[in-house]
Amino acid sequence: MTLPGRKCLQKYLQRFKGGFGLNEKVFAILSEKTKSMDTFSRHGDLLVDEIKLSEHLSVKAAGNIEGFVDLGDYTTSDHKGVLADHGMIVLFQPYTGLSLLNTGSPTRISASTTPTAIDLTLVSQCCEYSWRTEPDTEGSDHFLIDKPPPEKKVHSVISWSRFRDLCSAECEPSDFFVLIRDSTQSATTRCAVALRAPVPDVKLLNLRAARRKAQLQRRRARRTNKP
C-alpha cells in the first residue's frame, strides 16, 4: 500500500484546523431542544455521525439558500460555492424508557487476553426480547448479537361474570373508582400462549382448572383408601 510522503502530509495539515471538544453551537442547540425536558430525562447518549447527502439547493422562508458547504468560520474560500455532499447528524437518546439487554457476556475479541463488552443493546421497555451472542464471529472481531423475540405472548382475559359480582359490593361514592380498579384486577387472568395461538377462552380455562382439581382430589382419595 502506497503511503503519503512527508511533503504531502504537510500540505494537507496546513489546511486542517483541529481542536479539542465540540463546537459550542452544538451545546447551545441541545440546550434549546431539551429545555422542556426534566432533569432526569436529560440523562442519555449523544451520538454524532456523518451521513451522505444528495447535492441540492433549497431556499428557506427567510430567503437563505442552503446546500453549500457550511463549516462556519472554518469554511475556506474555495468551498463557499461548492455543493455539500456530506453532513453531520447529532442524535440524543435519553435513557428513560429503555432497557439494557446485555447479560455481561463479551461482545468483542480484543487484542489483549480479556474480551470486552463494548456493544450495548438498548430496546424499549415494552419489547421483551432475549439477548445472546453467536459463537461464530464470521471473521469479525465482534460477536454477532441475536435478539430473538419471545416465543410466547401474555394475554389478559377478564371474567365479566366475576367482575359483576365483585362490583355489586356496597361502597362509598368516593371509593367507586377504587372498587372498579380492584374488581378488574381480581377478575383478570393472565396466561402465556404461543405467539400465533388465539386468545384463550375464560370458560375453557375454568373447565381445565376444574378438571385438574378433580384429578388431584381423586389421586389423593386413592392414596388415602389404600390398605
The 10s digit of each residue's pLDDT in 76-116 is 777 777 887 877 777 777 777 777 788 888 888 877 667 67
In a domain, 163, yes or no: yes
- Say yes or no: 99 and 143 in one domain: yes
Tally the domains of the chain: 3
In a domain, 171, yes or no: yes
Closest among 149, 37, 151 to 97, alpha carbons compared? 37
- Measured at the alpha carbon of residue 19, what is the angle toward residues 13 and 23, in degrees to the nearest 5? 130
The bridge status of strand 122-124 relative to strand 132-133 is: unpaired
Q: Is residue 10 part of a domain?
A: no
In this structure, is residue 202 part of a structural domain? yes
Bridge-based pairing of strands 188-194 and 152-158 is antiparallel
**193 and 218 in one domain?**
yes
Same domain as 110, residue 85: no
Does residue 20 lie within any of the structural domains? Answer: no
- Pick 23 or 207 by higher pLDDT: 207
**Which of 102, 107, 106 is closest to 131 using CA atoms?**
102
- pLDDT per residue over 134-188, tens digit each? 888 777 888 888 887 777 777 787 888 888 888 888 777 777 888 888 888 888 8
Grid cell of 149 as nine digits = 423475540
Structural domain range at position 62:
47-92
CB 167 within 8 A of CB 181: no
If we measure between CA atoms, which residue out of 57, 105, 46 comes closest to residue 81? Answer: 57
In a domain, 180, yes or no: yes
Summarised one tens digit per residue, pLDDT across range 43-61 is: 777 777 777 777 777 766 6
